[in-house]
Amino acid sequence: MQSMELLLVGAPGAGKGTQAARLAATYEIDHITTGDALRANKDLDISDVEGPYDTPRGYMDAGELVPDAVVNRIVESAIDAADGYVLDGYPRNRSQAEHLETFATLELVIYLDVGTEELLRRLTGRRVCADCGATYHVDFDPPEQQGRCDECGGKLQQRDDDRPAVVRERLRVYREETAPLIDFYEDRDLLERVDGEADPDTVFAAIERLLP
């Protein structure tokens, strides 16, 4: 398969994870997320990076926020090991984007454009079984019996992270920290916009038409 260096950007709920996973499977490239990269490299030697720990595991075990310098190192390691990749969730801010330019050459940045109301509908509609952890959505994947899990009959609940006030705060942080990357990559003639409100198959087809 052709090697690719891609980045998906968009707000929480825009569908980055879904589309990145499909791209990775279809084109046999790595799907690199910050969380996965952290878990895969938690014992990476970062003793030369200023901070209290010599490995990312120290931050993770302490429940502390992993600083940008450590995240940058971990993503760099993941990209070095990849033969083609799609980035999902990194970079999150301009500082990370500028650092990414020092060790990677993106071919294409795809912005999944989804309106605020649709994002709220997607993010606040998730329901999780309190007993077995099965996940549903009130609009897109409802259970057969309202409020009850199809798998075990357990009660479905809305996680705190999916409550409207929390979701609005997540979107505020995105607009403040990550949305400026749209202009950042437009200025570099790398950005292409895709209507992220279409169904997943239509979105994927639109992405494929843009691939280098």
Measured torsion, CA atoms of residues 56, 59, 64, 69, in degrees rounded to the nearest 10: -40
The answer to whether the Cα torsion of 185, 72, 23, 6 is positive or negative is positive
Catalytic residue among 22, 73, 122, 126: 126
Catalytic residue among 159, 163, 172, 175: 159
Total H helices, total E strands in the chain: 9, 8
10 Å Cβ neighbour count for 181?
20
| 155 part of the active site | no
Q: Report the distance separating Cα 80 and Cα 169, nearest Å.
A: 34
| 92 part of the active site | yes
Amino acid (1-letter code) at residue 154 = G
4, 29 contact by CB (below 8 A): yes
| 159 part of the active site | yes
Q: Report the distance separating Cα 154 and Cα 205, nearest Å.
A: 37
Catalytic residue among 57, 92, 94, 148: 92
| 73 part of the active site | no
Catalytic residue among 121, 148, 170, 193: 170
| 168 part of the active site | no
* Catalytic residue set: 16, 92, 126, 159, 170
